[in-house]
Amino acid sequence: MIQDDITELRRRVGGGKYLLTRCVAERAKQLQNGAVPLAEANSTNSISVAIQEIVKGNVAFNFADGKELNLSNKRNAKATK
């Protein structure tokens, strides 16, 4: 199950492991600060919930450097300028 999640995460976030880490960390931080979870998870751990949200395609990211990453139910999401 965990390996399936990692495979799906890598497919959804096409920018490599650093962008993937950035997305998970940013969403986990939002959850810790009180954001409402967008997906059901078997854990209350914010990192686990963030991973489940990304795997299910429930989140989009806008970064300060002008890039947007929309993961909302897209199979091959890519970062755009």
pLDDT tens, residue by residue, 34-79: 999 988 878 889 998 998 888 888 887 776 666 666 665 544 334 4
Gap between the Cα atoms of 28 and 10, Å rounded: 17
pLDDT computed for residue 31 by the predictor: 93
Phi, psi of 68 (to 5 degrees): -120, 135
Secondary structure of residue 49 in the 3-state scheme = helix
pLDDT band at residue 5 under the 50/70/90 scheme: confident
DSSP H helices, 1-81, are: 2-12, 17-32, 46-56
Could you state, in order of their start, the residue ranges of all structural domains in the chain?
Answer: 2-70
Query: In the 8-state DSSP scheme, what is residue 1?
Result: -
Gap between the Cα atoms of 24 and 2, Å rounded: 15
pLDDT computed for residue 79 by the predictor: 40
